[in-house]
Each structure stands twice: as structure tokens, then as C-alpha cells.
Homo-oligomer: A and B are copies of this chain.
Amino acid sequence: MSLFTALDVQDVRFPTSRHLDGSDAMNPDPDYSAAYLSLRTDAPDEGTALVFTIGRGNDVQSAAIAALAPHLVGRDVEEVLSDLGGIYRELISDSQLRWLGPEKGVMTMAIGAVINALWDLRARREQRPLWLTLASLTPEELLDLVDLRYLEDALSREEALEILRRGAEGKQQRIAALRERGVPAYTTTPGWLGYSDEKLTRLLHEARDEGFEMVKLKVGADPADDERRMRIAREVMGPDYPIAMDANQRWGSAEAIEAVRALAPHAPYWIEEPTNPDDVLAHAVIREGVAPVRIATGEQAASRVLFKQLLQAEAIDVVQVDATRVAGVNENLAILLLAAKFGVPVCPHAGGVGLCEMVQHLAFLDAVAIAGDDARRRIEFVDHLHEHFEVPVRIEHGSYMPPEQPGNGSRMLEASIADHLFPDGPVWAAEPAAAPVAAAVR
């Protein structure tokens, strides 16, 4: 028998704002950061997970994760790991902590870190990558991981089970196909706002040469820039190549419709985050207003209840789950089920630090055991910071190839953690003014 002994949380920040990588219309100066959790046991192993943030506030996020220690420390590891539906429901139901959301924001992301670290530990003890640990569960076991409260007006228990049973048929063949061909990626690497037209052009050529079959451009800061960059991209990539756009919540609904219509001659594949992520009704209005351009959102969608409404209102065409925004694997499983119910593809959000490594497991699960084959499925890829992870993502011919190493993908190299500890690691100590609050003043 082993017991949980500690939740150690480290504030790890990369000084990405020193360059313009990662800049978009709402996030001009991100320092990609991880509130990094090591869930210790009195055995030699541990589970890890991280919550991605973009700098300031990573300390608050870290404190929120640490506040969950009393739920785990001293408890039997195998007992908890054998009922990850139970611990998930316990954490989201903590009646006092729930007040801080409910089920959204800092406290929910903290719960997500704990849940994801538990899954990491479970997968490691099974000697499997997370995606395979999940795909090895029966439909009933998967369903038990989910909390359907507040969802049953859109997804009944019976419907969820039916989706999972259908997903189980042919699973082994889809696992074999996944291992052979992976899941297509699309790349945002060329599209950051801060890049010159020359750099944009060069990176677009590289993206196609590397086998990516879709790219995404950031838009929303300046209409003339958006038009010029979309025109360049269309010229470089040709008439049929999918080029998505991402406005990072910049617009109100009328603005969004106007802006997307102005760019429609360049045939964008989707417009992502056209407005506030909580605004279900505005997304529905925008979708009507810009059809046939698709609507994508989700990287900042706070809960399964929000995704449910976006789907019920026919407000989105693409569900962009994020590995660290909601309450972990379990809540994301509910979101995958909702997307399958409504027939909307799941194209996970990634980038940042560690998000590619983590979220791929959800897409692989979706591909082999939930929605199954879907040519619309693509995982975002940004070529940033992968070198800091024990198992960096493997992209071949523009597709994510599934890892076979155990765990959930979140484990960082010890040297990377040590170098980037905030504020005392060497990367930050050398430049004490590197995270100035002045940058926050608009």
C-alpha cells in the first residue's frame, strides 16, 4: 500500500514575451507559464500535471492547486486511482471551494491539475500512455468518469452510453491506424501578429513543406493588416488550402460579422474566438452572420455546461478542448461526448507550454473510442518549448503520432524546471524586470 504524501507545486515561467512569438490581438505579451504539480507518493513514483497560464497570476494558480492537498494527502493511492470518477466528483463537489467558481476559472483549473496528475500516475503504473489507458476502458467505465449533472437536457446517460458503445466497435483497428498514421495537425507557427510579411511567407512555405494540411493566422488587431496577411497566405497556399483565423475574443458580435465578411473573399476555413468565450448567444448570431465560415471556440470555455450550450444553440462548428482549462480528463471526456452527440468535430487547442504534449491524448481517445474516424479532426500545433518535456510531441508528415511512453505527457525535464522557476530561477533572476506590470497597462 502506498499513500499520497504531498502536492508540490512549482511556478515555472518562460520569458516568451521577450520575443513576439505567441502574440495575438488580446495577448500581446505572454510569458508562457506552468503551474506545475508533482503529486508525490511514498512509493518512488509520482504523477505530474500542469496548468498553462501566460505569466502574471501563475502564482495564484499554483496556490489554488496547493489548496487541494487535504483532499489527497494521506489517502491510499491505489484506492484513489481505482475510482477516478469518484475523486473527480468529490473535488468538484467540495461545497466550500465550489463557491469560488462555481466550476470555472482558477479553482476549476486547479482541480484539473490534480485530476490530470492522478491520470498520469495511473497510466504510469499501467505502463501505458494516457490515451491507451483511457482507450482500454469499457464504455461503462468511461461513463462512470463523467458527471452528467446539468448536461442531461442535451445528453442523457443512455445516449452517452450508446455513443461509447458505438465507439468501442472497431476500436482495435482504429488504434492500429492511429499508430500508423497519427492524427493530422494544423500549425499556428506562421500566424502570429508580430511577424513581418516576409517571415509569414517563409513560415507558410515551411508549413506546407513539412506536410501540414492547414494553417492558422491570428487576426483582430488591425483590419488592413488582417486583409493583407490573409491575402498573402491565400496566394502562398493556393485556393483550396484550409486557412483558419483566430481573433482571440477581440470583437463584439456586430464587429465580428463585419470583420469576417471583409475577409470572406480569402475563404477562411474557420474563425476562432470571434468574441467573448462565455457569450453563447453572440456566437450563434455570428455563426449565422458569417456562414459558410465555420465558428470555432473552446480554449477558454470554462466548463462542460458552456460547451453544452454552445452546441445546443448551434453556435459552433468546431469544439476546441484544452487540456488544462477545465477540471481535467474527466470533464473533457464529458465535452468529447457532447461533441459526439451533436456531430461536431473536436480540434483541440494546443501551443503554450505542454499543451500539445497533453491534449493529444484526448484527441487520440476521441479518434479511437468516441467519435471515431472524422476527417475534420485536427490538433493544433505550435513549435514552441517542446524541448523541455521528457516526451515531446512527435509530428510526422504534418500529423501527431501517438506516444507509447507511459504518462500524460506533462512531465518536464528537471533542468528546465530549475532554470525557469519564477522569480528565483536563473532565467528570471538575471533579468529582474522581465515581468513588469507596466506591460499590463493598455
How far, in Å, is A188 (CB) from chain B's closest CB?
A: 17
Q: Is the CB of B153 within 8 A of A97?
A: no
- Which chain B residues lie closer than 8 Å to A278 at the CB level? 103-104, 278, 302-303, 305-306, 309
- The interface bits of chain A over 85-108 (1 if a CB of B lies within 8 angstroms of the residue's CB, else 0) are 000011001111111111111111
Q: Is the CB of A64 within 8 A of B60?
A: yes
How far, in Å, is A439 (CB) from chain B's closest CB?
A: 8
How far, in Å, is A10 (CB) from chain B's closest CB?
A: 16
Q: Is the CB of B252 within 8 A of A153?
A: yes
Q: Is the CB of A252 within 8 A of B152?
A: yes
Q: Does A54 contact B (CB under 8 A)?
A: yes
Residues of A in contact, count (CB < 8 Å)? 71
The CB with the most chain B CB atoms within 10 A, among A27, A67, A106, A280, is that of: A106
Q: Is the CB of A150 within 8 A of B276?
A: yes
Q: Does A312 contact B (CB under 8 A)?
A: yes
- Which chain B residues lie closer than 8 Å to A277 at the CB level? 102
Q: Is the CB of B30 within 8 A of A95?
A: yes
How far, in Å, is A316 (CB) from chain B's closest CB?
A: 14
- The interface bits of chain A over 34-74 (1 if a CB of B lies within 8 angstroms of the residue's CB, else 0) are 00000000000000000001111101110110010011000
Q: Is the CB of A99 within 8 A of B153?
A: no
- Which chain B residues lie closer than 8 Å to A442 at the CB level? 89-90, 93, 95
Give bound CA distance, A55 to B249, whole Å: 34
Give bound CA distance, A229 to B91, whole Å: 31
Q: Is the CB of A60 within 8 A of B57?
A: no
Q: Does A300 contact B (CB under 8 A)?
A: yes
- Which chain B residues lie closer than 8 Å to A71 at the CB level? 437, 440
A300-B102 CB under 8 A given contacts A64-B60, A276-B305, A280-B280: yes
The 8 Å CB contact of A254, one of B30, B63, B109, B152, is B152
Q: Does A337 contact B (CB under 8 A)?
A: no
Q: Does A137 contact B (CB under 8 A)?
A: no
How many copies of the shown chain assemble into the complex? 2
Instruction: Give chain A interface residues in 136-191, CB to chain B under 8 Å.
Output: 149-153
Q: Does A253 contact B (CB under 8 A)?
A: yes
- Which chain B residues lie closer than 8 Å to A100 at the CB level? 53, 57, 60-61, 105-106, 109
CB closest residue in chain B, given A26: B95
- Which chain B residues lie closer than 8 Å to A281 at the CB level? 280, 309, 312-313
How far, in Å, is A224 (CB) from chain B's closest CB?
A: 22
CB closest residue in chain B, given A286: B153
Instruction: Give chain A interface residues in 260-289, CB to chain B under 8 Å.
Output: 275-282, 285
Q: Is the CB of A67 within 8 A of B61?
A: no
Q: Is the CB of B26 within 8 A of A104?
A: no
Q: Does A441 contact B (CB under 8 A)?
A: yes
A153-B440 CB under 8 A given contacts A56-B94, A95-B28: no
7 further interface pairs, Cβ-Cβ under 8 Å (given A26-B98, A105-B108, A153-B285)? A29-B95, A31-B96, A54-B99, A56-B67, A60-B63, A100-B105, A102-B249
The 8 closest A-B pairs by CB, nearest first: A105-B105, A70-B437, A55-B96, A94-B440, A56-B96, A106-B106, A63-B63, A150-B276
Sample (25) of A-B pairs whose CB atoms are under 8 Å apart: A26-B95, A26-B98, A29-B96, A53-B96, A57-B96, A57-B97, A57-B99, A59-B67, A90-B441, A90-B442, A93-B442, A94-B437, A100-B106, A105-B105, A105-B106, A105-B107, A106-B107, A150-B252, A150-B276, A153-B253, A153-B282, A278-B309, A279-B309, A281-B312, A281-B313
